[in-house]
Structure 1
Amino acid sequence: MPVMSLGDELPNFYLENNMESGNLHDFISGSWAVLFSYPRSFTPICTTELSRAAQLAPEFAKRGVKMLALSCDNGDVNKDWIQDVKMNAGIEGEFPIRLVADQDRQIAKALGLIDQDQPNDVSMPITCRAIFVIGPDKRLRMSMVYPSSCGHNFEEILRSIDSLFMVESWVVGTPANWRPGDDVMVVPSIPKKEEATRFPKGVTRFSMPSGKDYMRLTPDDF
């Protein structure tokens, strides 16, 4: 089964549901995007996932990130289920996430999103819970794959997107548990002589028992 690697361009799949259609590359159209898969409609964990994603949709939109949700259900099933999701999420009006019906599992199979441990019948396994963050260049920038028993943390996905945005423009990295506003790491490839010009707000160094000079922090608002 093909598996997407970071940096790979996503295939230009045709996306279809009961309300709209088009292809993936046109949907992205120079923006960042999140494609996440879920096993099935009218199931409890999936309902909580789509509910939380919908509640946080304004935060994704604020960052210019479009949202796609993929399952192996058909469009009519999705349309009915979304009313439950909206009630559970406490939102009204148009659902803020585009749902993609992948009944023949062609997209799920091509992206390696099939959960072989959780078939819904002998021949038709369901999708796992996966997140693909896609850049404006249509390339995979980040992925997370969970078993169907464990729902995603969409706050962590937002945090990861903020990190991706941060390192797009600066030669830095974000440490464990980083949040916007926290200091970021100066990557080892930056020589000490360039610190003053690259990081005008200063660099904090840490003395390590090894004696190696590699732990450096700088404010993220430069």
Structure 2
Amino acid sequence: MPGLTIGDTVPNLEVETTHGLFRLHDFIDDSWTILFSHPGDFTPVCTTELAKMAAYAEEFYKRSVKLLGLSCDDLQSHQDWIKDIEAYSGGCKVSYPIVADPKREIIKQLNMVDPDEKDASGNPLPSRTLHIVGPDKVVVRVVESLQKAAKHKVATPANWEPRDPVVIPPSVSDDQAKQMFPQGYETANLPSEGRYLRFTKVE
């Protein structure tokens, strides 16, 4: 997908949020930030997801991780919806800001556009996307790494980048690996002669 991806620097956009106007780099500062988008306010799944983020927000803050939500609804819609989120969460406060993007410009620059879904007017909608951004304002590999690992039952080695080989877990025997990865795999030649470090490529 074109646009912002792993290894890219988040653009220093000025955004209007439920916590006021600020630039993304100023908000991120020297912390880790989880930037997540949702398709729309007052929708069932999004309400449960943002309520869960509200419930866990303090745990993120303890780890110096900031949260920043985003959708294409306007600021007033966000403010009204927050009341529902907090009621559903049992009173947990939505302590993190939510970006308003009614012109749908920010979701394009942050690569958070759903490739298929559109609203009733045919306008693009945000996908359920999550960027984990480091203090250097660069998107890290964590999410894609997790997705790849979950889909293919593999692990990602240190410094893994998209399209790099992945690791076959030791719990998978060679016979199982041949069935699971018909494209083949390579075993690292190690002094111990152990066959535990096996690499394969997956889509």
Is the shorter-chain TM-score for this pair beyond 0.5, marking a shared fold?
yes
**What one-letter code is carried by the residue in structure 2 that aligns with 1:120?**
D
Provide the TM-score with structure 1 as the length reference. 0.64
Give the distance between the partners of 2:16 and 2:73, measured in 1 at CA. Answer: 11
5 Å matches for 1:93-172?
Answer: 94-142=93-141, 144=143
For 2:28, the equivalent position in structure 1 comes to: 28
For 1:57, the equivalent position in structure 2 comes to: 57
**What one-letter code is carried by the residue in structure 1 that aligns with 2:79?**
K
* Closer, same or farther: CA 129–71 of 1 in aligned 2, 3 Å: same
Give the distance between the partners of 1:175 and 1:214, measured in 2 at CA. Answer: 7
Percent identity of equivalent pairs: 38
- How many angstroms does 1:122 deviate by? 3.6
For 1:39, the equivalent position in structure 2 comes to: 39
**What one-letter code is carried by the residue in structure 1 that aligns with 2:86?**
K
**What one-letter code is carried by the residue in structure 2 that aligns with 1:212?**
R
**What one-letter code is carried by the residue in structure 2 that aligns with 1:76?**
Q
1:2 and 1:110 in contact (8 A); partners too:
no
- How many angstroms does 1:115 deviate by? 1.3
- How many angstroms does 1:80 deviate by? 0.4
Q: Can you list the C-alpha shifts for 1:139-186, whole angstroms capped at 9, x where unaligned?
A: 0014658xxxxxxxxxx9xxxxxxxxxx79xxxxx998xxxxxxxxxx
Structure 2 gaps, min length 5 = 145-149, 151-157, 160-166, 170-186, 199-203
SS at match of 1:21: strand
- How many angstroms does 1:4 deviate by? 2.0
Q: Can you list the C-alpha shifts for 1:88-108, whole angstroms capped at 9, x where unaligned?
A: 11125x521111001111110
Structure 1 gaps, min length 5 = 146-155, 157-166, 169-173, 177-187, 193-204, 216-222
Give the distance between the partners of 1:175 and 1:99, measured in 2 at CA. Answer: 39
**What one-letter code is carried by the residue in structure 2 that aligns with 1:130?**
T
1:132 and 1:142 in contact (8 A); partners too:
no
**What one-letter code is carried by the residue in structure 2 that aligns with 1:67?**
L
Q: Can you list the C-alpha shifts for 1:187-209, whole angstroms capped at 9, x where unaligned?
A: x99x97xxxxxxxxxxxx9x8xx
Give the distance between the partners of 1:5 and 1:43, measured in 2 at CA. Answer: 27
For 2:78, the equivalent position in structure 1 comes to: 78
For 2:155, the equivalent position in structure 1 comes to: none
Give the distance between the partners of 1:104 and 1:119, measured in 2 at CA. Answer: 14
Give the distance between the partners of 2:195 and 2:49, measured in 1 at CA. Answer: 44
User: Which of the residues 192, 195, 200 maps onto 1:212?
Assistant: 195
Provide the TM-score with structure 2 as the length reference. 0.70
SS at match of 1:115: strand
Give the distance between the partners of 2:17 and 2:71, measured in 1 at CA. Answer: 11
Give the distance between the partners of 1:144 and 1:3, measured in 2 at CA. Answer: 16
